[in-house]
Structure formats: structure tokens, C-alpha cells
A and B are shown apart, each in its own frame.
Chain A
Amino acid sequence: MQLDFSSDLSNVVKIIDTLKHKKGALLPILHQIQREIGYIPLKTIDTIAKKLQQTPAEIHGVISFYHQFRTSQPGEHKIQICRAEACQSRGSRGLEQHAKEHLDIEYRGTTADKKFSLDSVYCLGNCATGPNIRINDELYGRVSNEKFERLVSTFKTKAKGR
């Protein structure tokens, strides 16, 4: 899918104008951009900086600090595997390995067909029923290797997730 940069930019301007009155508006703005475009295109950083009267370096610094913000286009569905201790105690290390092999990518990677991005996450707050994964905004508990494969094949045919 090719994104139209000028429409992205006008989108970003609209988002900033809607949110910039907030105290400490940058995170809400970055969240909204990523929600609408799927990531924060590097080309929008100058615009964000100018409108917030900050330097592009400051904006870039904030984007790069937080694991959630990304500057490249993700796959259609974002899969996150919890790698924190409670999930480890229920077998998540094996699941991580399996997921990487099954999708044939590493963390922060996107599959060749652009369907899936894979990321780790530290705790989804579902610690008594791990291993846990999150696909887009949905949480899945007690994820075995088989359940993971089943979910992947279900999402393969689904439209783009948020």
C-alpha cells in the first residue's frame, strides 16, 4: 500500500491543530498520528516541530525514547509477545522462538507480505493466564504454539487492524 505523503501531511497538521492546546501535547499528538497513519513518518517531524515551536531534534528524541512509536510502516497486523517474567514462567520463551520461526522474522521485523509486524512487550497485565500476546488491540491468553499459528492464519485473511 502506497501512502500519499501530502495527504499524510495535511492529516498531521489537522491532528496537531486539534490537540496542541493540551498541556504537554506532544504524546497525544504522536499517538494520534500513529493511530491514523500507522506510524510517524520522518518527513512529518519538521512540521510537528515547527507547529509546537520545538526543534526537530527534540521531537525525534521523544519518538525514539518510547518503544511504541515507530517511524516506518508496520505490517497490517501488529503482533506483540509478552516477554516479562510471569509469561516466562508459563513458557513464553518457547513461544517467542516459535513465533519468530513461524513468521520468519525477528522482533521489530515485518513479514515479506507486509501482513504482520512482530514486537515484544513487557507485560500485558494478564499475568495469571500467560503466555500472552496482543494482536492490534486484542489480547489473547494461554497462547500455545498451535493457538499462535491458528491466530496468525485467522488474521491473515482479516482486513487491516488498527
Chain B
Amino acid sequence: MTIKMFIPRESTALSLGAHDVAQAVSDYSTQHKVELNLIRNGSRGMFWLEPMVEVETSKGRFAYGPVDVSDVPSIMTDITTNVLSKHTQAHSLALGLTEELAYLKKQTRLTFARAGITDPLSLSDYLALDGFTGLHKALAATSQEIVTTVVDSGLRGRGGAAFPTGIKWQTVHDAPSDKKYIVCNADEGDSGTFADRLVMECDPFMLIEGMIIAGLAVGADEGYIYLRSEYPVADEILQEAIVIATKEGYLGNNICGSGRTFNLEIRLGAEAYICGEETSLLESMEGKRGVVRFKPPLPAIEGFFGKPTVVNNVLSLSAIPYILSQGGQAYQQYGANRSRGTLPFQLAGNVKQGGLIELPFGSTLQSLLNDFSGGTQSERPIRAIQVGGPLGAYLPTSKFDIPLDYEAFTKASAVLGHGGIVIFDDTVDMLEQARFSMEFCVDESCGKCTPCRIGSTRGVEVIDRIKDDESRAENMILLSDLCETMINGSLCAMGSMTPIPVISAYKDFPEDFHLPSSNAVLEETNHG
């Protein structure tokens, strides 16, 4: 009898030794003459359990984790003597049937429906689980019908700006031009985020399908994935997936025999956070310094080399196959208020059970923590959570009940962004975090706008003076004025949002700035 097993080839699993575990499993099967079919799948996104090893049984997949090389012999014994024959388990790392794990059962996985289940480079796996059904519907529809379906879905840009995807597509659709482009923004630079990476490593055909559909919708025959170079595994898997999709007729000059054309290429970034900003990204793709462009013109009108260009985040494009296959209404029925559909949240930082959590909008941070986190890794109390990446606010425990939707977060001077949730315990020094926000801006500003380029350096200096108790009250006013200047005097989010974490740090954690909570200075500086 052949034993079918699964060990991820995804970055987190690899960073914790998945290759070595796979090698040990394979060696064991050779030595013990066990017939083995080992699949290198994606990850389910339960990172504290990686490397997670699964075995196929008649009742579904059975999981073990986190597995070390030294656990392999005992796990193999458990599989052969208990799990497969008697449906019992005796191993301390046995987790039970994967599908029954609460962490997965409590989620609504639309975009991540296949992640960790399939071999990311198996086209037949992809096709068996609804792959390319959206594309076939798109090929049968008019371009306007595709755009309308996306408008109806209520999908908004998942990169963070939350601009309605359908409206963007309509603009490019309506722009008269002999050439248009689809650009996927895969420069996922926000700390605490990894959902784009998981899509590319675990389900690359879904992204490719989303981009082809975007091309059909707006009349573009050429697409680029601008991928950050910090993701070498995603690069490798995507490259292979593009080769396969081209060979099988999904990409190229005759998509599925339709006579339509779409070609796709990966472009690597070079460690510049700012290139996640869409106009900076386009400059970079054109072979220039990633300096932000003034808008208008919008990229939808004048984008890559001046041509109408759709620039969408990985998650936005990855939501498209579901929307096309199930209909805009099916997607739109999830969510809350003006935030429709699901958002893949990414639980990270000082947390026991970090990972990918896809939920409809509308839950709260507190309930997400209760349902998934398992507390902090350090087992100390949570003090602050930064949501939405390095330009997002630090939230104190009193704000954990804000609903997870775009408008509710904006109203609370916070940022939902790309859905990253980074947990800090009570040892965090919020003055140091505020200083880091400014320092990050010093390193990553493109240099176009003075408040961002110079203001961030001044910000570090002012915070250092506050730390050293040098004219503290005056320097707090200076810091607050500086933040206001950056907010109002910067073209893009880098300069205008760097103050968000800084302001949240001194307003919600005044004691770390050696300020009493009811300080008059803070009252005066209330512009958040």
C-alpha cells in the first residue's frame, strides 16, 4: 500500500526545517520499504504547527506538527500502526484530522480555499478544485460584463488603500489606447503581512487566473508581477507556474483556444519599501529610481510607460477567480458595511498561534484574538497591537473592540491596510516604536517630498530629545507639529502616514513618553 503524505514547500515551513523533515521521511520510507507518495504542498497558514506533516487517510488528511527531524521515525510508526489501520493515534504531535482543526473551521476561506491542500504546481490539483472556472466564464462574457461583475462584488483594493477594484477596472476599460497593462503589486513590504506570499507560494495559478481575467476585462494583453526580491521561494514557484500555464495554453497568444492573448512576466524589486506605492512601483518597472509620481494622471489613465494600467494587489487579483466563478453577489454577501467580502488577516508578532486567518469583514480584533491567538508567545499580557503595517496605528487594549472594517478603522485614526496584525507584549517601549517609525521613514522615503525626506530625520532627533528629557513639553509640541506637516505635506502614504503610529504611540501610551495621561500638552496637540 502506498502512503500519501504532504510536507509544505512554503517559506515559513522551510524556515523551520521542512526540507530536512521531507528528506527524513523519504529516507525512512526507503529504509523501511514503505511505498511513499510525498507531495510538497502549500501551507494551511497555521505557522506554529510548521513544519506540519499530513497523511491521507480514508477519513481525510491527518496532521502532525510541529515536526522535527527527530520525530519522523515515531510519526511514521504511528501512521503505519495506528492511524491508517485502526484510525487511532498515539503520538504526542498528532493533531487529528486537518479539516477538523478549530483554527481552520472558524475561517471563511474563499481566496485561501486551496492553500495547503494542493501541490502549488499541480495544474490538475488546481482544476479539480474549481481552478480556471472563473476564466472560462470570463472568456464567455463581454469585457463590460466582467467589469460589472467585479463592481457588483464590492471588492476593494487589498493592498491597503481600499479603492474599489471595479471602478479602477472600468477606468482602464474606458481609456482609449492601443496598449494597456495589468500590473500585480507583489511588493508586500508591510511588517506582519504574508498573505500575498502565501498566495504565490501555495496557489500561484489563482493569481495568474486573476490577472488573465483582468486583462480580458480591460483589454490588456500584457501583465507583470512586481515581486519583492525578499521572496525567493515565491519567485521560483511563480516562474514555474507561468511556464506550466503557458505550456497548457492558459497564457500566451491563444488563451484556451479563444484567440485572445495574455503574456505574463515577473519583475523583481530590489529592497525598497516605497516601491509598494503604485506610482513608485511603475517608475521602478520602467528602470528608474522608485520616486513617487504626482497624481493625476492616475495610473489607470497613464501608467506603465504612459499607457492605461491596472495596478492591483495580489489579494485583489486573487479574489477575482472566485468572483467570476461564483458571481459578484456571492462575494458581496460577506462582510460589513462598505467592506465587502473577506480579508485574509495575518496574525503575527508576539503570538502563540500566528498565521493566516481569512474572515469576512466585521469581526473585532478582540474576538479574533480570542478565537485564534492562544495568547502571546512570551506568555506576558498584550499591551499594544499594530494593525496595517508600519504605517498603521498602535492600538491599546481599550481599542480592541473596533470592528474590522475599513471605515471603522479610519474613524478611529487607525489603518486596516493589508490586514497585518502585530502583537506586542507589556515589555514594549512605545517611545522606541515611535522612534523606529520615523527611522524607517528615513531609510525608505523616496526623497521627493521634503516633509517626508527631512521631517523623518528631524522626527528621530526630536524623539531622542524627549527620551533624554530635554525640554520635553516643547519637544512634544514640536513632534506634533512635525507630524501635522508630514501628514499634509507629503504626496503619498509613506510621508503622510508615518505619523499615524507615532501619534498613536504618544496619545495612547503617554506614560512611555514620560507624560501624565491627562497632560495639557497632549490636549493641545489633539489633531489625530
Among candidates A68, A89, A122, A138, residue contacting B229 with C-beta atoms closer than 8 Å: A68
Does B272 interact with chain A (Cβ within 8 Å)?
Answer: yes
Does B346 interact with chain A (Cβ within 8 Å)?
Answer: yes
Which of the candidate stretches B79-87, B92-100, B416-424, B469-477 sits at the interface with the other chain?
B416-424
- A89 CA to B430 CA in the complex, in Å? 11
Least CB distance from B187 to A in Å reads: 11
- A90 CA to B384 CA in the complex, in Å? 13
Q: A residues touching B (Cβ–Cβ < 8 Å)?
A: 23-28, 30-31, 52, 61-62, 65-69, 84-90, 121-130, 132, 134, 137-142
> With A85-B386, A89-B422 known to touch, is A23 a contact of B12 (CB < 8 Å)?
no
Which of the candidate stretches B133-141, B280-288, B482-490 sits at the interface with the other chain?
B280-288
Residues on B with C-beta less than 8 A from A31 are: 229, 268, 270
- A62 CA to B290 CA in the complex, in Å? 8
- A68 CA to B287 CA in the complex, in Å? 15
Among candidates B47, B305, B420, B443, residue contacting A23 with C-beta atoms closer than 8 Å: B305
A89-B428 in contact (CB<8A)? yes
Residues on A with C-beta less than 8 A from B15 are: 126, 129, 132, 139-141
B286-A128 in contact (CB<8A)? no
- A139 CA to B284 CA in the complex, in Å? 25
Among candidates B290, B349, B377, B444, residue contacting A127 with C-beta atoms closer than 8 Å: B349
> With A123-B191, A127-B422, A129-B50 known to touch, is A90 a contact of B284 (CB < 8 Å)?
no
Least CB distance from B198 to A in Å reads: 9
Does B348 interact with chain A (Cβ within 8 Å)?
Answer: yes
- A24 CA to B351 CA in the complex, in Å? 42
Least CB distance from B223 to A in Å reads: 12
B444-A122 in contact (CB<8A)? yes
- A137 CA to B230 CA in the complex, in Å? 9
A31 (CB) vs chain B CBs: closest residue: B268
B288-A68 in contact (CB<8A)? no
Residues on B with C-beta less than 8 A from A26 are: 287-288
B194-A126 in contact (CB<8A)? yes
A93 (CB) vs chain B CBs: closest residue: B432
B436-A123 in contact (CB<8A)? no
Q: A27-B269, A85-B390, A128-B354 are in contact. List 16 more A-B contacts (CB 8 A).
A: A52-B287, A84-B191, A85-B349, A85-B433, A86-B192, A89-B422, A89-B423, A122-B443, A123-B189, A123-B190, A123-B191, A125-B230, A128-B346, A128-B348, A138-B14, A139-B11
Q: Which of A28, A62, A84 has the most CB of B within 10 A?
A: A84
Residues on A with C-beta less than 8 A from B48 are: 128-129
B189 (CB) vs chain A CBs: closest residue: A123
> With A140-B15, A142-B16 known to touch, is A129 a contact of B232 (CB < 8 Å)?
no
Residues on B with C-beta less than 8 A from A127 are: 191-194, 346, 348-349, 354, 420, 422
Among candidates B11, B191, B287, B386, residue contacting A24 with C-beta atoms closer than 8 Å: B287
- A90 CA to B352 CA in the complex, in Å? 11
Among candidates B194, B272, B354, B377, residue contacting A67 with C-beta atoms closer than 8 Å: B272
- A24 CA to B224 CA in the complex, in Å? 12
Listed from nearest, the 3 A-B pairs whose CB atoms lie closest are: A128-B354, A26-B287, A84-B191
Least CB distance from B418 to A in Å reads: 11
Residues on B with C-beta less than 8 A from A30 are: 270
Least CB distance from B389 to A in Å reads: 8
- A141 CA to B273 CA in the complex, in Å? 21
- A65 CA to B286 CA in the complex, in Å? 14
Residues on B with C-beta less than 8 A from A132 are: 15
Least CB distance from B271 to A in Å reads: 4
B444 (CB) vs chain A CBs: closest residue: A122
Interface residue ranges of B274-313 to A (CB < 8 Å): 284-291, 304-305
Residues on B with C-beta less than 8 A from A24 are: 267, 285-288, 305
A65-B193 in contact (CB<8A)? no
Residues on B with C-beta less than 8 A from A25 are: 287
B349-A86 in contact (CB<8A)? yes
B385 (CB) vs chain A CBs: closest residue: A89
A65-B230 in contact (CB<8A)? no
Residues on B with C-beta less than 8 A from A130 are: 349
Least CB distance from B180 to A in Å reads: 14
B284 (CB) vs chain A CBs: closest residue: A27
B350-A89 in contact (CB<8A)? yes
Residues on B with C-beta less than 8 A from A125 are: 11, 188, 193-194, 197, 230-231
